[in-house]
Structure 1
């Protein structure tokens, strides 16, 4: 096997793309369906906070998102348990990639769209759960934990006498992930009035790049059986 510093699931580019996708997907679903599909704790908070004011249909959409995200996550857990090659991560990305690509061609039925997107997002979440941005843990799709780590890293770097390149790179990496999440969210908010449902293709493009990049590294460095 050729020398590789980090496994492909720990690559910085993948973390940045997944951050962008997470911000884009949740803002898109909130604008279109008043629900979230990645940040399920947010759905729970919305359910509780808006319990008296929201129509039953919105509460049902949020409950469906929570339920089918959980189903998708458990399905990916079963796939991971039986995986024999490193391509299992690619396979678990494909459902969200395909769903986000084809749904804009169909009528916008809120329940159906949320079920498909939440299930596929649950699968994707498991795929990169436990991954790192290079050598440091981070949270995919959501950014609150990454934001805290970014602040902590920069504080340590700016207040310590030893300005180590490693600490600076750690702070920079977290900054990239947080910024990409914000950029994804802002991009959807800006393009929604122009592209409408097709704004979801931002998610498609991000995931297609992640799939290509991850799979290409697995092939190049012959990681098919060693990076399961």
Structure 2
């Protein structure tokens, strides 16, 4: 929300545009439109990038633009008209890079949690109902609860950090991305998935 728009949740930007059209400044509306446009371009580039991947490390390469941008952002002279499109583009690339992400053969989304939350509630419902495959639904409920809880914890920690260290709180994203890249790369190497985990 640093730019009064969202860089990864374009449905949210559309809702903000509609809800705040009269009360919001034209500048903030323009930033939201830029976010939608550059996220879309990044997503399409991510599709092309994914179609032309050579090995499993391409997923790490898809994270690099966002990682670099979040790392250098606190050092840049504040200019939302430049920063927001780059971050939105990078978020679009990352979103496409990690589509088809799964936990134990169940899909999840890394950038927003509404779908994960819905899946968590569905699994909990079937656990409470006593549906036949209790082990499967308990596992799904735990996995999706972990994803949703992590998302919520990240949002709360980011909001708290924003109060104290302002723009430098984005380094939490940098740290998370670096952790993902190192862990993923080491697992690809350890398990010999370079050519198979495309």
TM-score tier (shorter):
over 0.9
Distance in 2 between residues matched to 1:122 and 1:193, nearest whole Å: 27
Q: How do 1:92-103 residues align onto structure 2 when only pairs under 5 Å count?
A: 92-103=62-73
Runs of 4+ in 1 over 4 A off after TM superposition: none
Aligned pair partner of 2:21 in 35, 51, 57: 51
Aligned pair partner of 2:60 in 90, 93, 116: 90
The number of residues matched between the two structures is 198
Counterpart for residue 217 of structure 1: 187
Aligned pair partner of 2:169 in 193, 199, 202: 199
What's the TM-score, normalizing by structure 1?
Answer: 0.84
Aligned pair partner of 1:142 in 107, 112, 118: 112
Distance in 2 between residues matched to 1:76 and 1:180, nearest whole Å: 25
Q: What residue ranges of structure 1 are gaps of 5+ in the alignment?
A: 1-29
Distance in 2 between residues matched to 1:108 and 1:213, nearest whole Å: 32
Aligned pair partner of 1:111 in 81, 96, 115: 81
Distance in 1 between residues matched to 2:100 and 2:81, nearest whole Å: 30
Counterpart for residue 132 of structure 1: 102
Distance in 2 between residues matched to 1:177 and 1:161, nearest whole Å: 23
Q: Aligned with 1:129: secondary structure?
A: coil
Does residue 175 (structure 1) correspond to residue 175 (structure 2)? The answer is no
What's the TM-score, normalizing by structure 2?
Answer: 0.96
Greater displacement, 72-81 / 131-140: 131-140
How far 1:73 moved relative to its partner? Answer: 0.8
CA-based RMSD:
1.2
Q: What residue ranges of structure 2 are gaps of 5+ in the alignment?
A: none
